[in-house]
Structure formats: C-alpha cells, structure tokens
Amino acid sequence: MKAKILEKFEALYGAGASLYASAGRINLIGEHTDYNGGYVFPGAIDKGIMAAFKLNGTDKVRAFSLDYNEEAVFGLNEEDKPAQAWACYIFGVCRETIKRGGTVKGFDTVFAGDVPLGAGLSSSAALESCFAFALNDAFGNNIDKFELAKIGQSTEHNYCGVNCGIMDQFASCFGKAGCLIRLNCKTLEYKYFPFNPKGYKLVLVDSCVKHELASSAYNFRRQSCERAAAAIKKNHPEVDFLSDCKRVWLDEVRDQITPEDFLRAEYVIGEVQRVLDVCDALERGDYEIVGEMMYQTHFGMSKLYEVSCEELDFLNKLARRVGVTGSRVMGGGFGGCTINLVKDELYDEFVAAAKKEFAAAFGHEPKIYDVVISDGARKIA
C-alpha cells in the first residue's frame, strides 16, 4: 500500500511527501454506550488508512483516493464542501480544525485504506483521525489528542450526517499495540488493558451486509435514548445520560415513554454494566465470563436495541452451537461483522462452519479477519 501511495503521489504532485497512518477499530464490548455517557472498550487494529501529505502553498486541497481512483479539489471555506462523499471527511476535518483555531492551508494528498468498508470497523474514523493528526502535525497546531478525536466526531456530525459518539475516533487516535482501552465517555477517563488472551483468538466474521439506512436508524436510536433519559431526569435530576440511571428508575417511567424507547434504554443500561463486568473478568483472566457477556450483548442488540439483522443473528447462533466462547454483532450494527472470542483449538472448525453454513443460507461466504491490536494515528515518515 505504501509504495502505491507514494508512486501515485509523485506522479500527480511531485516528490517530498510525508506519510501518516491511522487505524480502524474493534470493540470488545460496550456498544451504543458512548453517546449515553457509558463505557466502551475498543482497540485500534492493523487495518487502517495511510496518506502521503505535502503542503502545496495554495489555498486549495488536492486529494486523490486510490481506492476510488478519483481526485477531489476543494477550498477551505464552509461553502467549498466537495461533491464526493469520501472527500467530505477530509474537508470536514479541515473545517473542524479551523473552527478550533487551528491553521490549515492548501495541501496535496494521496491516500488508501485496507479497512473493509461497511464492516463496522470504522474506516471513516480511521480516515478522519489520519487527517486530523496530519494537519495538526504539519501546521504545528498543538491540538491535544482528545480534541483530534473530537474533530473526527464533529466531522461526522456536521459534514456526514451521523450523530455518532466518540468511541471510534478515540480508539483511532489513542490506539496502542497490544492494548484495549476502556473509556468512560462521560468523564473521558481511560485506561489501557493489555489484551493477549492465551489460548484464544479474536476473529471477525464479516456478513458483508450493508444497510442503506444505517445512518438514520443510528440517529433514531440515539434520539430514543435521549428521550428516555429526559423522562427519568424528571424524577432524578442528577441524570444527564442513561449511563447515570439505575434499572429501577427506568421502570418508574415505563408509562411515560414509548415501548420502543423503553427497550432501547433497557439495553443501554444493561450494556453499561456489562463493560465493567468484562473488565473485572479480564483482570481475573476469566474468559468464560467475558464470552458470556458478549452473548448477552448480542441478545440485547438484536432483541432490545434492534440493530442486528438475520445474517448476524445466524452467525451468532452458529458460534454458540459450535462452542465459541463469546460472539456478538460489533459496532453500530445494521450489517457488518460479528466479533468472536474463539479457543485456538476451535478456530478451524468455527471458520469452516461459518463459511459453509452461511454460504448455504445466504448464497455467499462471509469474510474472515484475524485482527491484531495495533497503534492508532501516527506519522510514519
């Protein structure tokens, strides 16, 4: 990837580029908890975005996507938003940096990625944090890492139409090889947990399903949570987020919110607790509990939060049957991957069964990714 990027950069824009990279992410547990002020437990992975980058002395950005084989040229003012969806991520990062008082001037870039798109591995956060990091470095803006993550998050909100939480961009900016990171999304306190479960592998099974309306469905979930939290706040003024709520407080407002909002909130309150339970279990080396919590999360995401789909439920059931320790839909949902904690000796059997049975049911094989927990945003050269 590196050689191709540099070759294209030289052909289009000349020599002398710097190289930056950033990563996609996995999340062991803590899904849809970030915008509810709860915990998440992600890590950056060995699949990401790489960009060659050089200032061009103008007030224009020239960006070339190797994956789309397309160039976008745009200015840096609000009205200069490019037509290409992929370029809006870079434009958004420029704008959000400028809004925070940072300097951004014209540059040339060629970039490519190996995060599978739509798989729930946050290719967009990888792209945002790669450019947030590159701009900060190239223009010496001295913006701290949390703010770089927020630049990516605000890009999603203001330029891409997704009201996401902070998890993906946080993982992508703070990722460290070999470590998962538990983040409290309310206080922004975080802790690195070395993650190297002896005798187990983390395996992603990509259903290759992508749902068109995922962004709006995601935003609706968030609104449900906010309505439920607002109803609870009337009885318990200290509540700012669902993560502040006790389960019984939700029961108190059962008649004041819709059954749908109730189910969404029920899921979130359970999930916030599960992250803590998983961290405790990890400290004891109890992977059976970790796995059981993953199955509980899947149940909640499927039946209460309703962000799973037939294909992902199928993969989850299959994992349970084969004896996989833990399995669940990962990321926002509505397609993408399951994340599976698999005993080494079960790996071959599980992968073979997943491929064969999924293909028989849905007409195509799922893709299998073995992930390595890796570093996040950085300068390579």
Helices (runs of H) and strands (runs of E) counted in the chain: 11, 13
Closest by Cα among 205, 207, 180, 166 to 32? 166
Cβ–Cβ < 8 Å for 361, 354: no
What is residue 206's three-state secondary structure? strand
Residue closer to ligand GLA, measured from CB, 104 or 116: 116
How many whole angstroms separate alpha carbon 70 and alpha carbon 269? Answer: 44
Tokens of 242: 């669902």
**Dihedral sign (CA 46, 49, 52, 53):** negative
Residue closer to ligand GLA, measured from CB, 122 or 129: 122
- In the chain, where do the E strands start and end? 18-27, 39-40, 42-55, 60-65, 70-75, 107-113, 179-184, 190-194, 200-210, 326-329, 335-343, 367-370, 378-379
Please report how close the Cβ of residue 282 comes to ligand GLA at its closest, in angstroms.
Answer: 19
* DSSP-derived secondary structure letter, 116: P
Please report how close the Cβ of residue 358 comes to ligand GLA at its closest, in angstroms.
Answer: 23
Residue closer to ligand GLA, measured from CB, 225 or 239: 225
Please report how close the Cβ of residue 107 comes to ligand GLA at its closest, in angstroms.
Answer: 26
Please report how close the Cβ of residue 143 comes to ligand GLA at its closest, in angstroms.
Answer: 20
Token pair 């509505």: residue: 334
Residue closer to ligand GLA, measured from CB, 34 or 147: 34
Residue closer to ligand GLA, measured from CB, 108 or 168: 168
Please report how close the Cβ of residue 228 comes to ligand GLA at its closest, in angstroms.
Answer: 16
Residue closer to ligand GLA, measured from CB, 301 or 354: 301
Token pair 């961009």: residue: 169
Tokens of 91: 């434009």
How many whole angstroms separate alpha carbon 140 and alpha carbon 229? Answer: 41
Residue closer to ligand GLA, measured from CB, 72 or 118: 118
In this structure, which amino acid lies at residue 18? S
Please report how close the Cβ of residue 77 comes to ligand GLA at its closest, in angstroms.
Answer: 27
How many whole angstroms separate alpha carbon 276 and alpha carbon 321? Answer: 27
How many whole angstroms separate alpha carbon 220 and alpha carbon 283? Answer: 36
The DSSP result for 95-125, as a single string, is HHHHHTT-----EEEEEEE-SPTTSSS-HHH
Tokens of 284: 């004891």
Tokens of 298: 């899947």
Cβ–Cβ < 8 Å for 24, 125: yes
Strand partners, 102: none
Using CB under 6 A, list all residues that contact ligand GLA.
Answer: 31-32, 34-35, 122, 164-165, 167-168, 331-332
Please report how close the Cβ of residue 118 comes to ligand GLA at its closest, in angstroms.
Answer: 12
- The residues that are catalytic are 168
In this structure, which amino acid lies at residue 109? T
